[in-house]
Amino acid sequence: MRAGRNRWRPGAGACRNVGMTTVTPPLVLEPVLADDEGALREWFELAAAAQAHDVPAGPPPCWVAHRTQLSVPWPGEETSAWLARSDGALVGVVELTLPTLDNLDTALGQIVVAPEHRRRGIGRHLLAHLTDQARAAGRVRLIGEAHAPLDGPGSGGPFAAAAGAREALLDVRRRLALPVDEALLDRLEAEARARAADYELEQWTGDTPPQWRAEIARLTARMSTDAPLGELAWQPEHHDAQRVAGRDAMCRARGYRMTLTAARHGDRLVGFSEIAVTTSYPQHASQWDTIVDPDHRGHRLGMLLKVANLRLAQEQHPEMRTVDTYNAASNSYMIAINEAMGFRPLDRLGEWQLELG
């Protein structure tokens, strides 16, 4: 899982539902085809407008990443999307992602209604479509994400609660303003180094070197078992060298520029931390996975990895001004590292789970 765990992260594949569905109030659902640039653009513009309204702290979505959402899958996922029109106007978008290698009983969904068309029952209709599609694909639960400010409910949480979903996990997003004081980074690195004398760092940008794919796969799988999951019914993910290579190809196609630092002990990798930057907004970076093998915890590797990786990412992208990271509110160890580096709470992300019965 990606840090921040956007579990509905868009994958690919042909749309399964090629028919048009009409619901009341007159709402027409049109499947988005992977190569339909016009439909992808409409979807993007609605997503950007909704995000500016709901999550003004940004960053805005990246068009380069968005336009390949359906044509270049995250390995192990398939995504379908539908545009919802009323009297010809685009009023909403609904997305369904089906894990294909693990979590085969779960579907990930996302509904966005244009801000000026809310509270008219459109969201409810789109959710009915999503649950029908998920059931038809043999899924017994649906998981969706909803942003909310630190001091208010937002729109997605109350909507999900009204639909009978429960908040199974609460993440808090923290933001780091750059540059961080070099003296602070030096001190944190030196403290961590003093406890991590037996470890070397390996660093790269872009694709995973082939000799490390299996090791990165083993550690990535642990993200789905070791990070706090709350009451989320998320089962262990299966990762192998092929899936890592597939993810690298997806990142390349979507214009994600990756920076990764790993800790090596002998010939094994025992932890890593990665940062992603989009093509459109390189001033804004996202912390993705950070993981340390349980046998090697207690050596301050988490801090060592994050400080070294931040430095490498800043070298690669001098225009970087902020880094965002999502942590389960209960993940005290990771949060302590982030707070020490200067990350501060920005908003919340609820993971809502609906049993389909």
Residues contributing to the site for ligand COA (CB under 6 A): 50, 54, 110-113, 118-124, 144, 146, 155-156, 158-160, 162, 352
Tell me the two tokens of residue 317. Answer: 């992208």
Q: Nearest distance from residue 46's CB to ligand COA, in Å? A: 9
Phi, psi for residue 2 in degrees, rounded to 5: -75, 145
Cα dihedral sign for 238, 244, 250, 251? positive
Spatial separation of the C-alpha atoms in residues 334 and 276, rounded to whole Å: 18
What is the 8-class DSSP label of residue 17? -
Nearer to ligand COA, 159 or 234 (CB): 159
Q: Nearest distance from residue 258's CB to ligand COA, in Å? A: 27
Nearer to ligand COA, 26 or 266 (CB): 26
Which among 281, 264, 210, 229 is positioned nearest to 7, based on CA atoms? 229
Q: Nearest distance from residue 126's CB to ligand COA, in Å? A: 7
Spatial separation of the C-alpha atoms in residues 15 and 8, rounded to whole Å: 16
The amino acid at residue 91 is V
Nearer to ligand COA, 158 or 318 (CB): 158
Tell me the two tokens of residue 132. Answer: 């029908």
Spatial separation of the C-alpha atoms in residues 1 and 352, rounded to whole Å: 16
Q: Nearest distance from residue 158's CB to ligand COA, in Å? A: 3
Q: Nearest distance from residue 149's CB to ligand COA, in Å? A: 12
The residue nearest ligand COA at its CB is 156
Q: Nearest distance from residue 51's CB to ligand COA, in Å? A: 8
Nearer to ligand COA, 147 or 218 (CB): 147
Asked if 109 contacts 123 with a C-beta cutoff of 8 angstroms, the reply is no
Nearer to ligand COA, 145 or 293 (CB): 145
> By CB neighbour count within 10 A (0-12 exposed, 13-18 middle, 19+ buried), where does 40 fall?
buried
Q: Nearest distance from residue 268's CB to ligand COA, in Å? A: 39
Nearer to ligand COA, 157 or 302 (CB): 157
Spatial separation of the C-alpha atoms in residues 335 and 287, rounded to whole Å: 13
Nearer to ligand COA, 155 or 325 (CB): 155
